[in-house]
Structure 1
């Protein structure tokens, strides 16, 4: 004996609610993960930061520093040369080494001067990293840069 199944409006409603429920749940999950892993803003007040940006950029460019960053065998090296090609030893005010996508594994490298460059041991796996540096030149100029690095 066979029973005929009748697809009613209630079945269609349940099907539509189920499909859209899954879509909404996945979107909410993606939105939560996007917000939870976002490192935040660079400056709390972008307008104030923009007012002094050009002056700071010109002061940094006037230093004529040639900065090279390398990451090899879990050793981070920052070599700075002045316009004459001599090594520069600035004061490190702030350094943050970490992934560009999240802040949970950020490290604060403890740089040591080796006579020609600043070096620091870091824990780096394979992938892309950012080094955010804030240095102080001998003349009092603040030097701020972000250097993308990759480890293989």
Structure 2
């Protein structure tokens, strides 16, 4: 007897493809798709730090003005270091800004999970300290510094 006939006789019979096989394939496929979607959605919701505007068309009409204002602020050369003190108050250290500048600000939660806090600052030398504390967590701090007709803005994250 030829070797190929002998090999064919000794092979185990092939099992038929059944509905159980198809169900296992479908469950595995959709399980992977759902797991990837859940992972991507959770990463996106935890890392989104952008700002959503109510009307993007209206915002686009102001874009060139915003660029001009940003250029004027950059030319002032002012800098700010913003951090949270141990008691939860926000401290702003200005560099290059004139003395007796007025500093105001706002603390907002990046995902909108907590209400915004308006901040007022009192000068303590080159450092300005907020009059109220901000709850623990990650916050975006927007400050505005005014000195006469000059205005400068900055935004930084504190944790």
Question: Which of 1 and 2 has greater Rg?
Answer: 2
Q: Specify the SS of the correspondent of 1:111.
A: strand
- Aligned pair partner of 1:124 in 106, 129, 136: 136
1:129/1:149 contact within 8 Å kept: yes
- Distance in 1 between the 2:123 and 2:40 partners? 46
**Displaced runs of 4+ in structure 1, greater than 6 A?**
none
Gaps of at least 5 residues in structure 1 are: 1-5
Structure 1 residue 104: Cα displacement: 0.8
- Aligned pair partner of 2:34 in 4, 15, 25: 25
**Which residue number in structure 1 is paired with residue 114 of structure 2?**
105
Residues 1:41 and 2:55 aligned together: no
Any residues of structure 2 matched to 1:3-82 within 5 Å, and which?
A: 8-33=17-42, 38=48, 41-43=51-53, 44-45=56-57, 47-73=60-86, 74-82=88-96
- Distance in 1 between the 2:80 and 2:31 partners? 50
1:107/1:122 contact within 8 Å kept: no
1:69/1:78 contact within 8 Å kept: yes
Please state which structure has a larger fraction of its residues in helix: 2
Structure 1 residue 76: Cα displacement: 0.9
Cα RMSD after superposing both structures: 3.2
Structure 1 residue 36: Cα displacement: 5.5
1:60/1:142 contact within 8 Å kept: yes
- Distance in 2 between the 1:75 and 1:97 partners? 14
Structure 1 residue 67: Cα displacement: 1.7
Structure 1 residue 32: Cα displacement: 4.6
Structure 1 residue 13: Cα displacement: 0.5
Gaps of at least 5 residues in structure 2 are: 1-14
Query: How many residue pairs were aligned?
Result: 137
